Structure 1
Amino acid sequence: MTAAAAGIDFGSPGNDESGVLTPTAQRAQQDERSARRKQQNRASDAKYRQAKKAAAARVVVLEELAGRGPLTEEQEAELAELQPKVAQQKQQKKEKNAKYRQAKKAAADRVVVLEELAGRGPLTEEQEAELAELQSKVAQWKQQTKEKSAKEYQARKAVADRVVVLEELAGQGPLTEEQEAELAELGSKVAVWKQQTKAKGATYRQGLKAATDRVVVLEELAGQGPLTEEQEAELAELQPKVAVWKQQTKARSAKSRQAKRLLPPGLWCWRSWRGRGR
């Protein structure tokens, strides 16, 4: 007896009735599953970030309460539980950011090396491909850093301007409780930012001076005789960096001089005095 005679219909391969998917349908199904997984992962990551942010904010609140007086048993237990978690999260973020910065620095340094090699002669295919890949990454990172810095600058400027307003109000008479609390909070932030900027500037200047001094030493050695391979590589790496730093310093000085010329003398003196007073 044949299958047809027995009433059995296997259907045509790949149609809806057979239950067998065509390659196109299989890919579509895989893409759909992949999209669902990505969506679930994004939602899970978002919840995780929100939970971390909420925990960090709660620690701040509890520590402020502890600074005003004894906490309840529940608050002490909550603080004791959250503090190590938040500390661990901060450490992990710090390590992750450090690795990210190291990778970016290594890529930027490699671009400098490859561009210098390209200036001396044709690159190999591998070097050209590497340079093309890294240049686009470094350009993207620079753009992201620029945008992030601009946003951070705007946010800090808004805080600093608000501090000025509150201090002027305080000079005119007593502040409300809310204004006093706001001034205390924002004033401490501005003080921290100023200290960080000062420390960062000092570190930058020290690094620049050390690099500049090292270039002078290596150039003097090169004038006395052939350098070793390591010394040549070090000099080739430091020279363009020092040249860029000098150009940036020159540009900043020119902008500062231009700003002084554009501002009325009285206003410039007032701003300088105000900046020293803060």
Structure 2
Amino acid sequence: MEWFPLALLSAFALASADAVTKRFLYAYSSRELVLVRFGVAGLLLVPLAIMHPLPPVPPLFWGLVLLLIPLELAAMWLYMTAIRDAPLHLTVPYLAFTPVFNIGTGWLILGETVSMEGFAGVLLVVAGAWLLNVRRSNGFGLQAWLEPFRAILRERGSRTMLGVALIYSVTSVVGKAAMGYATPLSFGPFYFVVLGGVAVLLFAFPRPSRLSVLVRRPGIHLLVGLFMATMVVTHFLALDRIEVAYMVAVKRTSLLFGIAYGAIWFSERGLPRHLAAGSLMVAGVALILL
């Protein structure tokens, strides 16, 4: 199978996991949602992790994984809080800021400069974020033009997802370094099995009653877990066939699927404008990454 449909399927699976979580598990706490997202997906991926074990890896690999785990758990906790409490069109599109933050960290830490294409990509992502909130603008003065950006800061879900994007800008770099010591198909399942196990230990071990959440709605939990497991498998299968930048650029179409789910399942108004804004952000991500 070619890499493009795999990356597209990964994007759809991620957006579907988000939509099912928001629609059916809205009464769960953020910790319970992390348990479901990582715990069930990790359990489903155990057979694949056994079939594709890690090759011999150096101690640095384990150090990188230890660094990644708390960041991933924190990001998922914030992610679940955002999509549970805020409209999808005001949350998932802000994941497009991950490569924008990557540019910032690259400049601060490594002194890397931004190409003209990368700068244009940043402008497109920012323009998309502005368009998502343009209805807050009233008039043509400078204050009116800045109002959509102020709206982002006032919207808790948007602020939270920007925090997620910032964390992912770090985990994407560290994860890429860790994956360099393994194959994509061995690293992906192993990583999510570990995340699931740590999520159970961290959130359920101190309070065993929390484990009951995993059997509270088994059908919905299994559906969310299947979408997450599909996202993981297709993500790393695509990585095995193409460079990271191309795959991630296509996978960011998940924000367009999320916007569509918001309109279809949650009656979020303004679908044409939201899709136009999301398309600008995806194009900006592609310019930055490619």
Q: Same fold (TM over 0.5)?
A: no
**Structure index of larger Rg:** 1
Normalising by the residue count of structure 2, what TM-score does the alignment of the two structures yield?
0.28
